[in-house]
Amino acid sequence: MTRSTALLVVVMGVSGCGKTTVGRLLAKRLKAEFLEGDDLHPERNVERMAAGIALTDTDRRDWLRAIAQQLADAHAARYALVVSCSALKRSYRNVLRAASGELAFVHLDAAPALLEQRLSARTDHFMPASLLVSQLETLEPPGADERALTLAATLPADQLATEAAAWLAQPYKPAPRP
């Protein structure tokens, strides 16, 4: 398949769904670079989350713009990039999509009980399990008119990356807008 530009993908979902793990595996399969979106959070956001304070749309604005800039740079330079980013709302995804109309999303979906279990076992991240409820309340799953694949995060990460790579290899046919 020929592309006019390199593949750009955001692995999205709430905290604990496996975005980073799957994103790294997917990037390897696609021979793409990987960017951990959390690394672009301003220090203030990290401090707020670490203190158990949910981020607002205003808090997320500069972070999303920074990720969009990385996507735009990859688009302009024609290199493939996979980014892990919660991208919880359509409006957030629209900010990211402004970098390239060819941006694809892989949404990792899981039941709250599994997410809580994963978050409580995690020791190396600033995001406390107490913020999961606010993320689930904020989440707007991708619509049928978005270039997105939703996968069950209960599957092994390697399988998720394989399924996402197979989906991304297919020609994209936009769904009609409602």
Burial class (CB in 10 A: 0-12, 13-18, 19+), 106: buried
Q: Per-residue pLDDT for the chain (178 aa), expressed as one digit of tens each? A: 334 468 999 999 988 889 999 999 999 999 999 999 999 998 898 888 778 788 889 998 999 999 999 999 999 999 999 999 999 999 999 999 999 988 999 999 998 888 878 777 655 555 555 677 788 888 999 999 999 999 999 999 999 999 999 999 998 877 666 5
Tokens for 114? Answer: 């599994």
| pLDDT at site 49 | 78
What are the two backbone dihedrals, phi and then psi, of residue 48, each rounded to the nearest 5 degrees? -65, -50
Task: Report the distance separating Cα 59 and Cα 134, nearest Å.
Answer: 14
Tokens for 147? Answer: 């270039």
pLDDT single digits (tens) 22-48: 999 999 999 999 999 999 998 898 888
Burial class (CB in 10 A: 0-12, 13-18, 19+), 134: middle
List the chain domain ranges. 8-169
Tokens for 26? Answer: 């997917």
Output the pTM of the full model: 0.88
Task: Report the distance separating Cα 20 and Cα 13, nearest Å.
Answer: 10
Q: What topology is assigned to 8-169 in CATH?
A: Rossmann fold (3.40.50)
